[in-house]
């Protein structure tokens, strides 16, 4: 139930290596996702938005500000943009068994 497969019009892979996958999510007011799963992830909001989230037979409404970064444990859910603004979010999904050294380093090197 990969969100890139279940909702390809809303989720896009913007980076992937052996240790992480980074997804960009964009929607508009009224857009809904089908049920999908995320592994343990870090979420960073690029816009503020209101959503209805459903999981495990229940629903809840959330309102998140732009610029918020938070931890999300692995989960299955669906969502709906119930606000008046577009949603724009990045998810950094962690992959299991990635304790091996990697040469996929981008950024300054240590001297």
Q: Where are the domains of the chain?
A: 3-94
Determine contact, residues 37/107, Cβ cutoff 8 Å.
no
Give the three-class secondary structure for 57: coil
Query: What is the reported pLDDT for 41?
Result: 95
Closest CA to 51 of 17, 21, 12, 10: 10
Query: What is the reported pLDDT for 97?
Result: 61
Write down the pTM of the prediction.
Answer: 0.83
Residues in the chain, total: 111
pLDDT per residue rounded down to tens, the chain (111 residues): 999 999 999 999 999 999 999 999 999 999 999 999 999 999 999 999 999 999 988 999 999 999 999 999 999 999 999 999 999 999 999 997 645 544 444 444 444
**Token pair of 33, please?**
């996702």
Query: What is the reported pLDDT for 110?
Result: 43
CA distance 3 to 91: 11
Determine contact, residues 71/42, Cβ cutoff 8 Å.
yes
CATH class of the domain defined by 3-94: mainly beta
């Amino acid at each position: 139930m990969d969100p890139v497969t279940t909702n390809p019009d809303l989720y896009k892979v913007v980076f992937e290596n052996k240790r992480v996958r980074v997804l960009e999510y964009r929607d508009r007011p009224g857009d809904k996702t089908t049920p999908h799963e995320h592994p343990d992830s870090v979420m960073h909001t690029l816009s503020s938005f209101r959503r209805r989230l459903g999981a495990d037979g229940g629903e809840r409404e959330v309102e998140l500000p732009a610029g918020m970064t938070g931890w999300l444990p692995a989960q299955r859910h669906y969502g709906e943009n119930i606000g008046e603004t577009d949603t724009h979010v990045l998810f950094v999904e962690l992959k299991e068994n990635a304790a091996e050294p990697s040469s996929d380093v981008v950024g300054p090197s240590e001297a």
